[in-house]
Structure 1
Amino acid sequence: MKLTVLLPALAGMVWGNVALADATLEVMPPYVLQLLDGHGVNAKLLEKSHNVRLQDGKHQLVVSFEGNYSTRNETKLVTAEPLVFNFESSNGQKLTLDYKKPRSESEAREFTKVQDVQLKDKVTGQQLQSDRFVMPKVEGFQLTRDYQQELLAMGKAFNQPKTVAVPTAAVMAASNNEPLQVAPTKAQSSPEALTQLQEWYNKADAETRKAFQIWIIQQQQ
């Protein structure tokens, strides 16, 4: 009698735990996860698994397209301005980016003109409702970009503070979707960072140096 009552109770606990499992988000190349809820994600963890866990609720995702279509004889890199998704997840969802993956450099350049990308739940096969936009292009060379600071300046950051000093020019650029002028941060103008970059460049092989030079040129276009 006791066993008959206990088994359904245990089964209910097991199924309850499955139903309450956190949602997961998968970001696969050529897209790279830059920010999740205003924070960067450990790159070493992403190397082992392209999945991150999401608690039930609202989230903000920032991803960037970084396609490598190089051959032995030629370096071909295609990049695009970051995409931002504001969405709400539910327990048990398996979210991924839904788009037609470019197979060549020409396809990638055509694709990045629009970046038709949506969030999709693998469990239901349905697209997830989200508010998405492309971040404005930043003029001038940037050694690194602080995406969170840019979003704060636009008034579109995750859990945007109500009292943030935002330059008028930055607000106008964001509202008109114009290139955003961002002043260098301490990290961007750090002599230590420049020295480290020079050391990496000097240690790199010829192919890597060429790829880096092309990337630098692309950032100034």
Structure 2
Amino acid sequence: MKKWLVVAGLMALPMGLQAATLSTGKNIKLLVVDGKKVESSFWSEAESVDLPAGKHQVVVRFDGEVKDGSKTTIYTTRPYLFELDVPEQDATIVLPRLTTMSQAKAHFQRGPQWQLELDNGTKRSLEYVELQGKGFAAYSDMEALVADYNREQGITFEQGYAVDLEQATVEVSEKGEVKISGDALAQLKLWYSKANNEEKAAFAQWVESQKQ
């Protein structure tokens, strides 16, 4: 999977930048955007978020009513993560219409067809990662689950826009030779994003010691 430095999150837009509304289709729950949980009210769940055009990380799942024989039941999937290039127009994350339990199970078992439907009617296929939780209540804290994934993948968040940080710092030749490139700051950001909390704390102490 391509790794990039996610920037721009859900912060106020710089002047002159155009925002678009990213929505979800029927029975698709918007969970996390740019590392932050999408807050919902007690009465209704959030179905859209305003984002500046550019790279964003979006996590959703299918969670809705389907027919199981003569009964109606809830079918819920694992969360799916997208590295999404949000356009300068409103867009919606959609799936084919799923109405029965057997239909939904079959669709996700063979690989769901996630798409981004633009306001002008065109559709783009979306590449995705199916997040895997561990242990009891593995999906109860979606922010933590996404944070673990981002740490493993070297993804971090800053104010601004998406930059392919690893591509800027690691080059692999056709012969498989690895060469470190990019400036020192980019390299520091890459390795810091891969560190766990204890390693980050130790690094922070070292930085302080260098100021003395």
Return the match for 2:94 from 98, 103, 113.
98
Residue by residue, what CA displacement relative to the aligned partner does 1:75-108 show, whole Å, maximum 9, x if unpaired? 62322221111122232x1111232120111111
Instruction: Give unmatched runs, 5+ long, in structure 1.
Output: 1-18, 168-221
Q: What is the correspondence of 1:41-60 to structure 2 with a 5 Å cutoff?
A: 41-44=38-41, 47=44, 50-60=47-57
Contact 2:29 2:60 survives alignment (8 Å): yes
Return the match for 1:149 from 147, 150, 160.
147
1:116 and 2:113 aligned: yes
The structure-2 alpha-carbon separation of the partners of 1:124 and 1:104, relative to structure 1 and needing over 3 Å to count, comes to closer
Identity of paired residues, percent?
A: 21
Cα root mean square deviation, aligned: 3.2
TM-score (norm 1): 0.54
Per chain length, whose mean CA-contact separation is higher, i.e. which structure has more relative contact order (CA < 8 Å, sep 6+)?
A: 2
Counterpart AA for 1:59: H
Contact 2:115 2:123 survives alignment (8 Å): no
TM-score (norm 2): 0.57
Instruction: Give unmatched runs, 5+ long, in structure 2.
Output: 1-15, 158-164, 166-188, 198-212
Distance 1:141 1:75 in 2: 26
Contact 1:24 1:51 survives alignment (8 Å): yes
**How many Å apart are 1:26 and its aligned residue?**
0.8
Structure 1 runs of 4+ off > 4 angstroms? none
Q: What is the correspondence of 1:73-92 to structure 2 with a 5 Å cutoff?
A: 76-91=73-88
The structure-2 alpha-carbon separation of the partners of 1:74 and 1:45, relative to structure 1 and needing over 3 Å to count, comes to closer
1:23 and 2:10 aligned: no
The structure-2 alpha-carbon separation of the partners of 1:83 and 1:158, relative to structure 1 and needing over 3 Å to count, comes to farther
Bigger helix fraction: 1
1:33 and 2:30 aligned: yes
Distance 2:46 2:32 in 1: 16
1:127 and 2:157 aligned: no
SS in 2 for 1:69: strand
Aligned residues: 145
Q: What is the correspondence of 1:176-195 to structure 2 with a 5 Å cutoff?
A: none
